[in-house]
Amino acid sequence: MSEGTRQGLDLSANLETFFHDVVDDAMRKKHVEATAAAEYYLVSLLTDYARPDPRSCEALERPLTLLLDEALHAPGNERFERLRVLGDGVLYVSGFFAPHLETRGVEARYVTALGARAYDGAGKLLRGGNGDGAPDLFFELAENFGRFADLLSDVAERLSLSAAPSSTGLLKLYERWLKTGSEALGNELAGRGVLPVRGAGGLH
């Protein structure tokens, strides 16, 4: 095995370990319950999106309704893969880029319903329509889509906090707090000596 290959494998392992710790901590603090399979899936999703392929970014670039229609009408095994990828993309975007969706005029309820439908469709395909005994992972993702999106939003905030030590980063944190009202962001600002307040007074 070449040195470059070993470094690539080590990077993947480190990313997975890092995201596992972040997700596990967020789940405990937000009191989110999930099966081990669902938690592992969320960790794998974050690891994959750390190095996304072009298809993974479709949820940011193309109309979601069109993507769902294409997935539902795809042939054979491709249908499952398209539904899974769409569910993943919508879940990731809902957690990490909610403000981007808002600027596009897309309502959170609509996005949640669409992502849940994609995962539900993938789960039904795994069961062959209605067969028993198949994994319930995708049904769990569908049923808890909103909670998992909120969990990923918390993860995104934690990553923003760890990457914003400068005054510029502090301002970005404050702007994000103004948009979201996040308690975690408010606590972080207070911990850095900034009293987060709304109004014309700015930072205090």
For 99-122, what is each residue's pLDDT tens digit? 767 777 778 889 999 999 999 999
The span from the CA of 131 to the CA of 50, in Å, is: 35
The span from the CA of 195 to the CA of 107, in Å, is: 30
Contact (Cβ atoms closer than 8 angstroms) between residue 123 and residue 137: yes
**If pLDDT is split at 50, 70 and 90, which confidence band does 159 have?**
confident
For 8-35, what is each residue's pLDDT tens digit? 434 455 889 999 999 999 999 889 999 9
The span from the CA of 91 to the CA of 42, in Å, is: 9
